[in-house]
Each structure stands twice: as C-alpha cells, then as structure tokens.
Amino acid sequence: MKIKVAAEPDAAPANHLINACGYLQTLSRNTADGDLTKVLDAVVGLPVDCLKAHSAILLHLSPDGGPCVPLASKNASWGLPADCHAHHGCSVRDVADAQSPKVVSRLCSPISACADLLHTSGSHTLACIPIVTDGHCPVVLVCSRVDTDPFLVWELEILNTAANHAAAALMSSNRDTEHRRRADSLERIRTIASSSIDDSLELAFLELLRFVGADGGSVLVREDSSLRIGAAVGLEKKALPQRLLLESGSVSGQALSSHQPVLIQGSANRTDYPNAIPRPEVVSSMILPLISNKAVLGVLNLNRTSSTKQQFTDDELALATTAAHYLAMALHNARLHHAVRTQIKTFGSLHRVAKSVTSRLEPDLIAKLIVKSLKSLVGCETCAVFLKDSRSREYNVAGGFGMAGGDAAYRALLPESIVSTLEPGNALLVDESYSSENICMTDMAVRAGLRSALFAPLSLKNNNSGVIALFRSRPGGFSRQEISLVQGLSELASIAFENARLYERQKAIANVTQRELTPCVAGNIPGFQIGTRFTPAHNVGGDYFDLIRVDESRYGLAILDVSGKDTAASQSVGMCKYALRALAEHIPSPARLMAKMNRFICEYIEEDSFISMCYVLIDSSHDEIVYASAGHEPGILHKAGAGNQRHLHSSGMLLGVHPEARFTERRARLSAGDVLLLYTDGLINALYMKPFDPMVTLGRMLSENALHHPQKITDNIHEAAMREGSQRSPDDIAMVALRRTKRIPVHGK
C-alpha cells in the first residue's frame, strides 16, 4: 500500500469540471434550503458522475467504537459487514483522526473491512475525505476507482468542497432544534422590546433571564451622567450606588467605557475592579453595554448565583449580546419617539417638504426647493445654499434669494472661518451682539443690514459637502425651534444631494456600459450591404445584434432580445455577446449553436432571464442562408425578382427555459437585390395599432423601401414606426437589414 501524489495535468477535462461545477451549485442550493437528504445524495453522486469514481459512500464513524453506519452511497452494492468498526490503523479512521484527506493507490492489501470489500469488487484506488463538524470528524467520504489512475489535486479540491457542504448541512440539521428554541425566545424578546418600552422593559428582561438561564440581574438605563434602574431581579436597589456605576473601577463602568461585554467567573476581582460591589453569592456574571447607533444607552447585568452552580459560557455570552441588542434598539426607539412627540409641531412642515426635496435628482432644482421652503417656513430675509466642489474644494452657490449682484454677492456672505469651523450635524448661530474675532458677520452682510446668521452644514457620513446659510436683519433672530427645523432640512438636503451625485455617477457608468453593449456590426460581408438601427428604452437595453466571420465565405448574423430592461438586461446581453462570439467560429450549424447557447444560458444566467434569438448563417459563395430561431420574431426575406416576401419561421422555444430544448434550422436562396430584415419585438409593439396587423404594416414598409440602401431602410422603418405609433416605444428596438448585391468569387472560382 503506497500513497501516491499524481502530477497535475495542464488542464482539467472540461466536461468533468463543468459537470462538477453543476453539482456544486446544486449542493449550495440544497445546503441553503437545509435539505440534508439531497445534500448527502449529491455528495456521493458527484465523484461517480463527474470524477470517474466507481463508487462512493459516506461513513459515520461511531465515537465509542460502535459499527460504522453508511449515511448515503452510490454504486456501493457491496455493503458493509456488521463488524466494520473502523478501528485505529484503518485508513478511514486515520483520516477522521487527522482530519486530512488521504489517497491510497494500488489497493493490494486490506486496510479495513470496507477497503477489503472495495478490493474484492475490483477497486484499486481509494480517496478518503474527512467531513468535519464542530471540530470533530464523525463522517468520512470514501471514493473508489476501478482503474489505477490516481485522484488528481483538482479532483480532491472538488471533493473537499463537497465535503464542506455536507458538514454544513449536518451541523445545520443537528442544531435545528436548538436554533428553533433560541430563535423563538429571541423573537419573543424582540416582540416585547419593540412595543411600548415603558411598559415592557421588565417583561423583556424577564424573558431574557429565562433565555440565558440566569437567576438574577438588572437593566441600568443611562441618563446624562447617571444610571437609573430600569428593571431588576434578585438585587436590592440599595446595592447600586449611583456614583460607582459610571466609574472605570466598576464592572458596569468598564462595559460603558470599553463598549464591550464583560464575562466574569466567580466574584469580581477587587484588583481589576476596585469599586466593584462585593457579591459572594454570584458564581458567574455577564455585563453587556446596551448600544444603539454607537451610543451607549445603558448596561445589562446577568448573574448566576451559587444556587445554579453553572458558569456562563462564551456561546451564552454571544446569545446574550444578541438579546441585549434588541433591548438597546427598544431604548433607542423610545428616545426617538419621545423626541418626535415633543417636536411634532416643528417637524410637521418638514415632512411635507421632504418628499419634494428627496424625490429630485438635479442639484440646481434641489437647491431651489430648499431656499423656497426656508423662505416660507423660517421667514428669513436672505438665504443661500453652497455646495463644495469635489476638486477645487471651493464652495459654489447652488441657489439663493434676497441678494442682488448674483453669485459673487452670495459668496461674500459666507465667512471663510465658518467653512473650517462647522462640524457635521451641528448648526452654528452667528450674531453681531456676541460675535468673536474668528467668527463674525462679513462686510457684505453688514452692508446689507444683516445682523444675525445661521449656518447649517450639509453633512453625510461625517463629511461636509456644503452649507445652508440663513440671514436676518435683527440680532438673535433664530429660535431653537427654527434651528431644529433648519438642521432637519439640511439632513434631508444632504441625502438629496448625495442621491443626485450617485445618480450622476451611475448615469456615467451606464453610459460606459451602453457604449460597450450597444449593438454594432463590425466589418462587412463581400457582396452585401448592411444597415442597422438600435433604440434602447432606457440608458442601456436588452436587445443585441452582431455579425461574426465564421470563415472566408461564411458569416453569422445574430439578433437577440433579453427579457427585462436597463442594467439587469444589459448584464445578460454582455454574457451572451461573448458566448456567441466564442461558439460561432466553431459551430457553423445554427441549430447546434442555438442548443449550445441555450445550455449556457440555463446554467449561468439568472433563472428568470429568458432570451429570444435568431441566428442566420450567410454563405456568400453559394448564395444561401441557413437560419434557426429561439422564440424570436420571424425575419422577413424580400425577393427582388418576384416582389414577394417570405417569413423565416423556425421552431424553437426561448433560450433559458429548458436545457435540453431542441431547435430546427432551415435554408433559403439569395438572389441579387434580395433584402433580409431581422428585428426585435419592440418594433412590432411600436407598430401595433388596432385594427391593423403590425406584421402586415412592417411588410408594407419593407416593400416601400426595398430599393434603398439597407441603412436607409432601417432608418425609414424606424421613423415610420414612431410616426404611426404616435408615441415612443416602451421597449427596446433593434433592426438589421441585409441586401445581396452581387456574388464575389472565392479562391478564383
């Protein structure tokens, strides 16, 4: 028996690797769904179906020396003997103990009861993969091969990945019951804490005690520089002197200052916590800060006393931290609700303005709405909105009222000291009666008779992006309510300006994507004229056409339409574009190319994406086209000699519906002057006006323009469609027109 490490080949066999990837995708879905049976079946099926293994079996090794139990198997018809215990010295047991994969080649002597049977069945190579759960390896994947080919490194990597999925599914199954119990309890805590906190804090705290198995504790709510007891069990209020709770020498003080939970086994050490209250009856304690939005709102204390005799574990500390998060959110929400109730009059008007401001994506329009709202709500004499330029860092005027002289006059109202003094989220009031040397009204403001000013920063993520400035002609001209209103509006304006900036950035990205994915025909076909037209419904579209040179006399012309619009459809278009170009040069048959594209789309593109497609192979040396369709609108072939038209119908369902869908291909002859028109359903939608048949209308348009150059044909049809439809099409429109001019000799023939 020898361990053999095989040399890695230059490249893994493509089909085996693709099939293995498919299995791994199925494993991921089944693991996420928690379907243990399907996961285990797929794990043993992968090596047999994709890696040329003869058989595979998942063996559960008993930790107490009991018999091995097969959890799942494939082609393992030999079974296991009753005395298969995987004792030490067995390769399967060695793999479980070492938690490391092992490959055994030339299986010439029994290494275990199952290996003996494998050798009897003709297997010569063995791969054992450990499946580790919670730090242990109770299960081993055993794969065998009849031939002597060793398992390669990439094959072992795939088996390891499959084993990881099996481990996740097994752990999930084992923990489901405990998770459901914990989840139910956490949900009860969340539900209680989400209600009126004044009435339910104590109920939520009692549920939390049961949740972690504590027999005492308290909830301390922070108010300014002190703590009040919000709820307590097994603790007298006199045992909580307020002056000690916030000091670093106390356990609660450390949790508050460090923002981290503290786990103490036994009584608190007086060396580490000199101000700790002596509690000899406590055998274990958890002290957790109640944090919401980075603010510490209080402290949660949970204790186990000598009556319990069991200390808290790290897992229980993690669970208590999650539960404490719900209490912190409840405290935070209660404070927010109180603040809203006390300032409801101040922010009543702000709500009406919010929808108008945040729904705009143009910075100039947002600024106009802000100054208009401030004029009506605050009643100031002068107001201006300044935005900071991201490159020059200068503050430019975005909008304002009350000053003559244009932007220069408004800029002269903004003191340079204000720009560096303003803190994110805090408004600054400047008044002539208490101005300082560093912060005072500008000369322009004094000349204009303005005696008080309020500056509110436009800040987001602690970065100032601008300033809202308000001025009045009387000193002390802004009340606390007005300051709160301006601060609230500045926060909304900050979000609106940020949305506008992000929209402009996304628009720029979309423009780049549009240039990359906008259909075009590169080059031409000897003996043919080509014309195209593409009009997306949005920034980028889901329609695409392409011309691909197959060989010196044959060219592939494709047009496709992806379900959906905008960026989601454009992503699928990008994948189809490169897949089509990769396949067309090697698969000249339109039907076979369509089948290959269909399998690719079913495997790699989102399940709800469906694609219609028409592919035409143009043979310029034989004046012939071969075409196939996948649920696409039929192309129209206009015959110049007879003046009639032929619709290029070909059976085949949409790409992406079923991986084994079949497609048919048909042929048609070309003569000089014949015109071929391919298009997407957006053109038909634009032509649809009852009671006229849009296909009849399109045929008439093609006949009327058949003598023009193909580019003029597509342009004229598009203009006529927009005119007859009387409105812009809600869908993308793509067209390709191809005219046969004359036959070009190939190789002197």
**Residues 317 and 213 placed together within one structural domain of the fold:** yes
DSSP H or E segment with residue 145: strand 136-145
**Residues 82 and 41 placed together within one structural domain of the fold:** yes
Domain end position, chosen among 503, 534, 559: 503
**Residues 256 and 380 placed together within one structural domain of the fold:** no
> What are the tens digits of pLDDT across the range 7-39?
444 445 667 778 888 888 888 888 888 788 888
The answer to whether 92 and 130 are in contact (CB under 8 A) is no
**Residues 140 and 246 placed together within one structural domain of the fold:** no
The answer to whether 467 and 422 are in contact (CB under 8 A) is yes
Residue 185 lies inside a defined structural domain of this protein? no
Start-end of H helices in 90-152: 91-98, 113-120
Categorise residue 294: left if φ over 0, alpha if ψ from -120 to 50, beta otherwise.
left
Residue 6 lies inside a defined structural domain of this protein? no
Q: What is the mean pLDDT of residues 606-615?
A: 85
Q: Picking from 185-189, 619-623, 728-732, which range would have the lowest pLDDT averaged per residue?
A: 728-732
Residue 440 lies inside a defined structural domain of this protein? yes
**Residues 327 and 354 placed together within one structural domain of the fold:** no
**Residues 474 and 540 placed together within one structural domain of the fold:** no
What is the structure's pLDDT at 726?
47
To the nearest whole percent, how much of the chain has pLDDT over 70?
A: 77
> What are the tens digits of pLDDT across the range 303-345?
888 776 688 888 788 888 888 888 887 777 766 766 666 556 5
Q: How many helices (H) and strands (E) does the chain have?
A: 20, 25
Average pLDDT in the chain: 79
Residue 491 lies inside a defined structural domain of this protein? yes
Query: 172 pLDDT band (50/70/90 cuts)?
Result: confident
Q: Picking from 200-204, 420-424, 575-579, 717-721, which range would have the lowest pLDDT averaged per residue?
A: 200-204
Q: Picking from 21-35, 98-112, 408-422, which range would have the lowest pLDDT averaged per residue?
A: 98-112
Overall size of the chain counted in residues: 749
Q: Strand, coil or helix: what is 670?
A: coil
**Residues 132 and 278 placed together within one structural domain of the fold:** no
Q: Picking from 48-57, 65-74, 84-93, 215-224, which range would have the lowest pLDDT averaged per residue?
A: 84-93
Q: Picking from 53-57, 242-246, 266-270, 535-539, which range would have the lowest pLDDT averaged per residue?
A: 242-246
Residue 361 lies inside a defined structural domain of this protein? yes
Domain end position, chosen among 315, 341, 367: 341
Q: Picking from 84-98, 227-241, 292-306, 442-456, which range would have the lowest pLDDT averaged per residue?
A: 227-241
Q: Is the confidence at residue 104, as pLDDT, over 90?
A: no
**What is each CA distance from 236 to 282, 285, 306, 415, in whole angstroms?**
14, 17, 17, 57
Q: Domain span at residue 141?
A: 14-176
Q: Is the confidence at residue 531, as pLDDT, over 50?
A: yes
Q: What share of the chain is helix, strand, coil (3-state, %, to 5)?
A: 40, 25, 35
What is the structure's pLDDT at 330?
74
Task: Specify the residue for token string 């619709």.
Answer: 647
**Residues 451 and 556 placed together within one structural domain of the fold:** no
DSSP 225: T
CATH of the domain at 458: 3.30.450.40
> What are the tens digits of pLDDT across the range 286-308?
889 888 877 888 888 888 887 76
Domain end position, chosen among 444, 474, 503: 503
Q: Is the confidence at residue 177, as pLDDT, over 70?
A: no
Task: Report the interhelical angle of 153-194 vs 14-33 (nearest 10°).
Answer: 20
To the nearest whole percent, how much of the chain has pLDDT over 90?
A: 16
Q: What is the mean pLDDT of residues 352-356?
A: 65
What is the structure's pLDDT at 108?
55
Residue 30 lies inside a defined structural domain of this protein? yes
What is the structure's pLDDT at 749?
42
Residue 136 lies inside a defined structural domain of this protein? yes
Query: 493 pLDDT band (50/70/90 cuts)?
Result: confident
Q: In what order do the strands lie in the sheet with 635-638?
A: 528-535, 733-740, 675-679, 635-638, 645-648
Q: Is the confidence at residue 519, as pLDDT, over 50?
A: yes
**Residues 110 and 23 placed together within one structural domain of the fold:** yes
**Residues 671 and 617 placed together within one structural domain of the fold:** yes
Overall domain count for the chain: 4
Q: What is the mean pLDDT of residues 130-149?
A: 82
**Residues 348 and 495 placed together within one structural domain of the fold:** yes
CATH of the domain at 626: 3.60.40.10
What is the structure's pLDDT at 356?
65
Query: How many other C-beta atoms can be found within 10 angstroms of the C-beta atom of residue 58?
Result: 24
Residue 592 lies inside a defined structural domain of this protein? yes
> What are the tens digits of pLDDT across the range 615-649?
999 998 888 999 999 999 999 999 988 889 999 99
Among 281, 201, 277, 188, which Cα is nearest to 239's? 277
What is the structure's pLDDT at 557?
94
**Residues 120 and 263 placed together within one structural domain of the fold:** no
